[in-house]
Amino acid sequence: MKEKFSRIYRKLFEFYGKQYWWPGEGLEIVVGAVLVQQTNWKNVEKALEKLRVVNCLSIDCLKNISVKELEQLIRSTGYYNIKAKRLQNLMRLLAIKPHPSRNELLEVNGVGPETADSILLYRFNEPVFVVDAYTFRIFRRLGIYEGESYADLQRLFMGNLQNKSQMFNEYHALIVRHAKNICLKTKPKCIECPLKDDCKY
DNA sequence: GTCCCGCTAC
DNA sequence: GTAGCTGGAC
């Protein structure tokens, strides 16, 4: 099984190359992790740019800005009324605990396992693997994991990979890239798939 | 299972 | 016109 996880990573990396993921830094990564929920990254970039223009990409500003104002700034990401509250919930935690634990992140209303792990890996460089809907789709089609448990699938990755945060970072990014380019939700492009020899789909 | 709801590629 | 998008709460 360890060989399998490494082989798939190797093939994806050879096919797509390095992804240069989450090029932003610091708070942008945290804000992006919330804003990107159930939307695409382009919409998030628009919102981040707006926040940057009004000089509100700081814990202090995001925490104190009015909800209505924040909603308008992040409108492009969809679900803006919910996300404005979620962002402020998270900023209130970060104001008290600049480097929160996973459990502390999960206690925030609006932060689930994927968002918490994204923050830990991409903001704080902690060796946790980020599982998402794409991971379930691809590894189900590969015949590796049929279940629906976030924790179980995450354990599979973390138990079968030797390298830590740097590889987890790149592996997750490659999975996203692959799901968007080849392993599509409907009509996947199996003919040109770099993983077709490993896939039962 | 349902609701939250903007954007764009197709 | 609408499927799909780097989820989470209820």
Which domains, and CATH codes, for chain A? 2-20+128-198 (1.10.1670.10), 27-123 (1.10.340.30)
Q: What is the pLDDT of residue A20?
A: 84
Query: What was the pLDDT predicted at A25?
Result: 82
| Average pLDDT rounded to a whole number, residues A8-17 | 96
Q: Which nucleotides of C are covered by protein (CB under 7 A)?
A: 3-10
- Radius of gyration for the alpha carbons in chain A, expressed in angstroms and rounded: 18
Between A87 and A164, the more confident residue is A87
Listed in order, strand segments (DSSP E) in A72-173 are none
Average pLDDT of chain A, as a whole number:
95
* pLDDT the model gives residue A191: 92
Closest C-alpha to A50, from A81, A82, A72: A72
How many CA atoms does the CB half-sphere of A19 hold within 13 Å? 20
Whether A126 contacts A168, CB under 8 Å? no
Predicted confidence (pLDDT) per residue in A87-117, tens digit: 999 999 999 999 999 999 999 999 999 999 9
Q: Are A178 and A138 in contact (CB under 8 A)?
A: yes
pLDDT on residue A163: 81
Protein-nucleic contacts, chain A 107-136 to strand B, CB < 7 Å: none
Q: Are A30 and A62 in contact (CB under 8 A)?
A: no
User: Over pLDDT 90: what percentage of chain A?
Assistant: 92
Distance CA A141, CA A117 (A): 24
- Identity of the residue numbered A184: L
Q: Which residue has the tokens 């809907």?
A: A133
pLDDT tier for residue A154 given thresholds of 50, 70 and 90: very high
Average pLDDT, integer, range A187-192: 92
Q: Is the minimum distance from the CB of A77 to strand B below 7 Å?
A: yes
Q: What is the pLDDT of residues A121-133, one digit of tens each?
A: 999 999 999 999 9
What is the number of other CB atoms lying within 10 angstroms of the CB of residue A26?
Answer: 10
User: Which phi and psi (to 5°) does residue A25 adopt?
Assistant: -145, 160
Measured distance CA(A183)–CA(A179) in Å, rounded:
4
A20-66 residue pLDDT tens:
887 678 999 999 999 999 999 999 999 999 999 999 999 999 999 99
Distance A167 CA to B7 C1' (A): 32
pLDDT of residue A166: 94
Nucleotide closest to residue A187 (CA–C1'):
C3
Angle, helices A133-141 vs A150-160, to 10°: value is 70
Q: What is the predicted pLDDT for the residue at A21?
A: 85
Looking at this protein, which amino acid is placed at residue A172?
H
Report d(CA A30, CA A38) in Å as an integer: 15
